[in-house]
């Protein structure tokens, strides 16, 4: 088979298809989105009839995957790092149930927060759940690891976390494929109570998980993804995790690093390898893309052993993504610097597209809010978050998906009336609906604007579960029909729309305004597709 030029995300997707995948469940989020998109676009996946539709959120995705595993088949879940927070309840408990068909969870971290609210390190979650992690250092490993991950999961009877970061997810390199494995058939768990986490059963399962820990460690020590590379100069030993290995090697063009290196790509931390390194070297340098997790473990709370350097003592920056020069500095090597950026170069922040419906919504809202003053608009995550920037300066919060409605409720409970929520259609069905129910039950005086562009815009225009359903959902949850107002956000409707908003702001209860106009990017793509057909 020929080599293919694949993004890290695509390598994972192809590795899963070839590894016997029966279903992928995911909610979009940078930098994980392209995994599902690749499988959706794959002819092979269509022929193999692999389930490949977006889920409403990461929790529903995780649970559906557990269900597929329960039925004996191999399933994969994908999301960005903060998606793992949403899926955490299901994720942690899946380590207690164990698996039937192999279950792989891909969480894509975003150090330096290129497109995220934080740079949390998903490896913490795997330690919390006491399950193995695979952390590829390049696209080929991303493919190979995913290919093997389902078997590892089945062998150890736990989900396996595949942790990647933005740089690998969105970088392309050539990948050599393997033969496609057959999918599992339907097969119920041999123990019918395996997935019934009643306390009596959960206790037993949990003991089983604890007993599995040495086997997981042994897998790590044996794993071909972890390597001990000898070096003559034992003044220092180096541990790298994931893609940090590449930045180390970039500084030794002929791969002649003088120090012994342990390259970790599978966890639990391979105890034998790192112990040997520690015992044979005078000090350690730990290079991790993410939080100083291995470093912390090696140091221990008392830090009474040999000197251990890394992110915690300032040898490497405490936050942000690594790069070759940062690592050169830590190694005490010389490095090059180009010319400074000239002063004429100005910042070019992302902005709402010209013609975007959110622009009109904010023009309307800013006008309608004039009498109430600023500071009352709690918003959410999506393209519309760019309304926080000039020229709109229209919103006052963006915390986590779904938080607009619930924060507006809390603010109104505190006496900030009226309080306004701004939320996108996909975010609404992701995790806004339950918050709306809270508000309806108390008839809290908030005005909710569901800015419906009928797509998941921010992440590139994936189908939105909400499309065509928002009015019915709001009615079903109990919003009074006369306070569900659908408007069309266009310049020519400005005055009418402001009037509607003012009316609902004045209403002392829950109201929902739904400005509805398709995302111009999605519309353009749709028209192009229709023309082709």
Binding residues (CB under 6 A) for ligand TPP: these are 27-29, 58, 80, 82-83, 86, 381-384, 401, 424-427, 453, 455-459, 464
Backbone region of residue 210 per phi and psi (left: phi > 0; alpha: psi in -120 to 50; beta: other values): alpha
- In Å, how far are 184, 252, 321, 490 from 188, measured between CA atoms? 11, 52, 43, 54
The entry of another protein, ligand TPP, none that residue 382 binds, CB within 5 to 8 Å by partner kind: ligand TPP
Binding mask 371-410 for another protein (x = CB under 8 A): ------------x--x------------------------
User: How is residue 452 annotated by DSSP?
Assistant: B
**How many CB atoms are closer than 10 A to CB 386?**
21
Phi and psi at residue 84, to the nearest 5°: -70, -30
Decide whether 59 or 167 has the Cβ nearer to another protein.
Answer: 167
Decide whether 216 or 407 has the Cβ nearer to ligand TPP.
Answer: 407
Tokens of 435: 């918050």
Cis, peptide link before residue 268, omega less than 30° from 0: yes
Binding mask 249-268 for another protein (x = CB under 8 A): xx------------------
User: How is residue 56 annotated by DSSP?
Assistant: S
Minimum Å gap between C-beta 173 and another protein is 5
Binding mask 282-321 for another protein (x = CB under 8 A): ----------------------------------------
Identify the three-state secondary structure at position 468. Answer: coil
By CB under 8 A, residue 346 contacts another protein: yes
Identify the three-state secondary structure at position 475. Answer: helix
User: How is residue 386 annotated by DSSP?
Assistant: G
Decide whether 232 or 348 has the Cβ nearer to another protein.
Answer: 348
Decide whether 54 or 91 has the Cβ nearer to another protein.
Answer: 54
Minimum Å gap between C-beta 455 and ligand TPP is 5
**Interface residue with another protein, options 51, 127, 172, 469 (CB under 8 A):** 172
Minimum Å gap between C-beta 404 and ligand TPP is 10
Identify the three-state secondary structure at position 435. Answer: helix
- 459's CB contacts (< 8 A; 6+ apart) are 28, 29, 30, 33
Q: In sequence order, what DSSP letters do the residues of 121-170 get, joined into one string?
A: -THHHHHHHT--EE--SSHHHHHHHHHHHHHHHHHHTS-EEEEEEHHHHT
Minimum Å gap between C-beta 458 and ligand TPP is 4
Decide whether 233 or 488 has the Cβ nearer to ligand TPP.
Answer: 488
By CB under 8 A, residue 437 contacts another protein: no
Residues that bind another protein (CB under 8 A): 3, 5, 7, 30-31, 33-34, 114-115, 167-168, 170-174, 243, 246-247, 249-250, 323-325, 328, 335-342, 344-353, 383, 386, 458-460
């Amino acid at each position: 088979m020929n080599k293919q030029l694949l993004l890290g995300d695509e390598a994972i997707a192809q590795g899963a298809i070839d590894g016997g995948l029966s279903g992928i469940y995911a909610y979009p989020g940078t930098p994980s989105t392209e995994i599902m998109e690749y499988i959706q676009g794959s002819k092979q996946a269509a022929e193999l009839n692999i389930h490949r539709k977006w889920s409403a959120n990461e929790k529903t995705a995780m649970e559906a995957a557990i269900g597929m595993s329960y039925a004996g088949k191999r399933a994969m879940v994908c999301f960005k790092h903060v998606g793992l927070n949403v899926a955490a309840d299901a994720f942690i408990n899946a380590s207690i149930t164990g698996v039937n068909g192999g279950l792989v969870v891909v969480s894509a971290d975003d150090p330096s927060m290129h497109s995220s609210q934080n740079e949390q390190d998903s490896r913490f979650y795997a330690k919390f759940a006491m399950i193995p992690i695979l952390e590829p250092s390049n696209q080929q490993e991303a493919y190979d690891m995913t290919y093997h991950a389902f078997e590892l999961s089945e062998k150890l009877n736990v989900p396996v976390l595949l942790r990647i970061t933005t740089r690998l997810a969105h970088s392309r390199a050539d990948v050599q494929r393997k033969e496609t494995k057959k999918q599992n058939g339907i097969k119920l768990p041999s123990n019918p109570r395996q997935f019934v986490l009643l306390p009596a059963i959960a206790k037993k399962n949990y003991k089983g998980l604890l007993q599995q820990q040495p086997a997981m460690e042994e897998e790590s020590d044996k794993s071909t993804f972890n390597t001990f590379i000898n070096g003559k100069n034992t003044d220092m030993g180096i541990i790298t995790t994931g893609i940090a290995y590449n930045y180390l090697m970039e500084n030794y063009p002929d791969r002649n690093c003088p120090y012994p290196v342990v390259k970790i790509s599978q966890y639990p931390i391979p105890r034998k390898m790192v112990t040997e390194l520690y015992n044979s070297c005078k000090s350690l340098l730990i290079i991790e893309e993410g939080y100083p997790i291995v470093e912390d473990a090696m140091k221990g709370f008392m830090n009474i052993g040999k000197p251990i350097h890394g992110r915690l003592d300032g040898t490497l920056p405490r936050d942000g993504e690594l790069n070759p020069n940062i690592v050169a500095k830590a190694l005490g090597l010389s490095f090059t610097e180009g010319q400074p950026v000239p002063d004429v170069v100005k910042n070019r922040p992302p902005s709402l597209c010209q013609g975007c419906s959110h622009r009109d919504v904010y023009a309307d809202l800013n006008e309608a809010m004039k009498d109430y003053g600023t500071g009352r608009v709690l918003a959410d995550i999506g393209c519309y978050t760019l309304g926080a920037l000039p020229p709109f300066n229209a919103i006052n919060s963006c915390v986590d998906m779904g938080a607009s409605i619930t924060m507006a409720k809390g603010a109104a409970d505190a006496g900030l009336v009226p309080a306004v929520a701004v939320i996108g259609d996909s975010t609404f069905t992701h995790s806004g609906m339950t918050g709306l129910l809270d508000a309806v039950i108390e008839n809290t005086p908030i005005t909710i604007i569901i800015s419906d562009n009928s797509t998941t815009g921010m992440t590139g225009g994936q189908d939105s579960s909400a499309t065509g359903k928002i009015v019915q959902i709001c009615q079903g949850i109990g919003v009074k029909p006369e306070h569900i107002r659908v408007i069309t956000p266009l310049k020519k409707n400005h005055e009418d729309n402001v009037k509607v908003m003012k009316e609902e702001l004045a209403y002392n209860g829950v109201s929902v305004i739904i400005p509805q106009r398709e995302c111009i990017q999605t519309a353009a793509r749709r028209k192009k597709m229709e023309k082709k057909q």
